[in-house]
Structure formats: structure tokens, C-alpha cells
């Protein structure tokens, strides 16, 4: 069957070469070459999609390939809360997610102030409400020169999918490891303060600090439409609260010194 297809397309290519239609020639040539490569077992690998770096404030965005995953209290997640159940299947499109939590330097470049309790340009910005973050995103998008892409908060499902490692997931309890000390700043190792982003080991997708440093706002409402969800561990959380399926919520106008965010972009 493979040989038959190859012969037919070879004849088609020869006919097209002597036709008056360059479009037909190009189309048949592409098909012929594809079949030829297939016939000899040659696979052309697509190059990986490069990370994006924001031209305004230098936010690095990692490409997250879409896929399906089990969201919630999966087998490796211990001592789950009721709101992590039941486990349910979710399908997501491709998107980009910040490699790091938004830093204080980046916040200052856009907003001109620094509300953080723990000061340092390379520390994650914190003590920002969900509403504050929306204003930051609005202003950053106004400054943004990537006309076809608009920043936003990730959805809760996008956040958990990326924290689990997406299509590269190894099924860890925390984001990138079963050993929390490898990947997170939390109650037992942080001295109760935030730390420079990206020092701990990344997860399978090259994302840092998703299980601990600051917790992160996401776009979703909680079960009732008066509070917003945040995800991820923080430097004052016990290990149990740093698991990738752990959920929490806060009023959208409230601020907390262990709560920040990272950005998303649709692909």
C-alpha cells in the first residue's frame, strides 16, 4: 500500500511538472516528499516552541502544551480537603505561563509602587489583591507590544495542569518532586519570609516556585461568587498545603503578605 501510494504520487508529480499550474506542482511536490519520507521511515521533528520574553518588563513565559489530566485529589495527594474532590478529567488548549512569579521589580516598572512586605527587586511581589492584579494586567497590556497576545491570570485548571508538569508530568505530590525541600520555600525552610524567585529546582516544564514562595491568585471564583481562588504553597505554609491539588480562597479586594501571582497568555 505504501509503495502504491508512492508510485501514484510520483506519477502525479511528473504530470504536475509539465502542467501550467504552479500551485498544483507545489502541492503535489509536498505530498510526494511527505510520502517518500514516510516510506523510508524518516520523521521530521518539529522544533520546540521557544519561550516568550516580554519586551517591556522582561517577564519570561514558558510554553505549556495542551492536553488532558486528572484534576483534584489524585492518588499521590495525601490528606486532601473536600474541595479537592472528586477527581475529574479536564482538557486544556496550549497556553503560556510565567516561568517565575511576578517580581517586585516588574511590578514597580508597571505600577510605579511596591506594596510588598518583604522588600527586594528579585523577590516575588506580594500583598496584592486580585483586583490590584487586574489593574497591573490592564496597564501591562496597554504597554505590551505583542499585539496578538494579552496577559491574564491562569485559570485554576491551567495552574494545576502546569504545576503537575503538563504532558511531561511524573505524578509528583509537589510541583516537580515528592521532596518538598527540592522545589519549594515553605514553613520549615523559609525563615518565614519570601526568597528570590527561581532558586529551588523547577518542575518538569521549567516552572519555578509553584509549590512554595508565595501563593498565587488564579482567575476563577470559588464555589460562591464572592471569593477568588488562589493556588500553590507559600513560605508560611506547612507541607500539606503545598501539594499541587491544594485549593484556597480569599476576597478579591483583600491583600496578604504571602500571596502574589504569575501571568498567563493564550497560545
d(CA 204, CA 65): 12
Percent of the chain with pLDDT over 70: 82
* Angstrom distance (rounded) from CA 194 to CA 176: 19
Rounded CA-CA distance 87/245 in Å is 10
pLDDT in tens, 71-123: 999 999 988 999 999 999 999 999 999 999 999 999 999 999 999 999 999 99
Per-residue pLDDT tens over the stretch 164-206: 999 999 999 999 999 999 999 999 999 999 999 999 999 999 9
Contacts (Cβ under 8 Å, ≥6 apart) of 115: 107, 125, 126, 127, 128, 132, 255
**Is the pLDDT reported for residue 16 higher than 60?**
no
- Asked whether the predicted pLDDT for residue 30 surpasses 70, the reply is no
Domains of the chain as residue ranges with CATH: 2-39 (no CATH), 52-266 (3.90.1580.10)
What does residue 206 show for φ and ψ, rounded to 5 degrees?
A: 85, 25
pLDDT single digits (tens) 141-161:
999 877 788 999 999 999 999
Cell numbers for 186: 515553605
Among candidates 242, 208, 194, 247, which has minimal Cα distance to 61?
A: 208
What predicted TM-score, i.e. pTM, was given to this entire model?
0.83
Rounded CA gap, 267 and 251, in Å? 29
CA dihedral 78, 82, 237, 182 (to 10 degrees): 30
Amino acid at each position: 500500500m505504501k509503495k502504491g501510494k508512492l508510485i501514484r504520487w510520483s506519477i502525479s508529480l511528473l504530470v504536475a511538472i509539465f502542467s501550467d499550474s504552479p500551485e498544483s506542482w507545489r502541492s503535489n511536490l509536498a505530498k510526494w516528499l511527505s510520502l517518500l519520507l514516510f516510506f523510508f521511515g524518516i520523521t521530521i521533528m518539529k522544533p520546540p516552541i521557544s519561550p516568550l520574553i516580554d519586551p517591556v518588563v522582561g517577564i519570561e513565559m514558558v510554553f505549556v502544551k495542551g492536553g488532558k489530566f486528572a484534576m483534584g485529589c489524585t492518588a499521590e495527594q495525601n490528606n486532601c480537603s473536600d474541595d479537592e474532590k472528586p477527581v475529574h478529567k479536564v482538557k486544556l488548549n496550549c497556553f503560556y505561563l510565567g516561568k517565575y512569579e511576578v517580581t517586585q521589580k516588574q511590578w514597580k516598572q508597571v505600577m510605579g509602587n511596591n506594596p510588598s512586605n518583604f522588600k527586594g527587586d528579585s523577590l516575588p511581589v506580594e500583598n496584592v489583591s486580585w483586583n490590584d492584579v487586574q489593574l497591573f494586567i490592564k496597564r501591562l497590556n496597554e504597554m505590551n507590544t505583542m499585539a496578538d497576545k494579552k496577559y491574564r491570570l491562569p485559570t485554576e485548571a491551567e495552574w494545576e495542569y502546569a504545576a503537575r508538569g503538563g504532558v511531561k508530568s511524573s505524578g509528583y505530590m509537589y510541583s516537580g518532586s515528592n521532596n518538598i525541600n527540592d522545589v519549594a520555600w515553605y514553613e520549615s525552610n523559609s525563615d518565614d519570609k519570601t526568597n528570590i524567585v527561581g532558586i529551588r529546582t523547577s518542575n518538569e516544564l521549567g516552572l519555578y516556585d509553584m509549590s512554595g514562595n508565595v501563593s498565587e491568585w488564579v482567575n476563577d471564583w470559588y464555589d460562591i461568587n464572592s471569593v477568588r481562588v488562589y493556588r500553590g504553597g507559600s513560605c508560611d505554609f506547612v507541607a500539606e498545603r503545598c501539594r499541587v491539588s491544594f485549593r484556597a480562597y480569599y476576597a478579591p479586594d483583600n491583600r496578604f503578605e504571602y500571596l502574589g501571582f504569575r501571568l498567563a497568555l493564550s497560545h
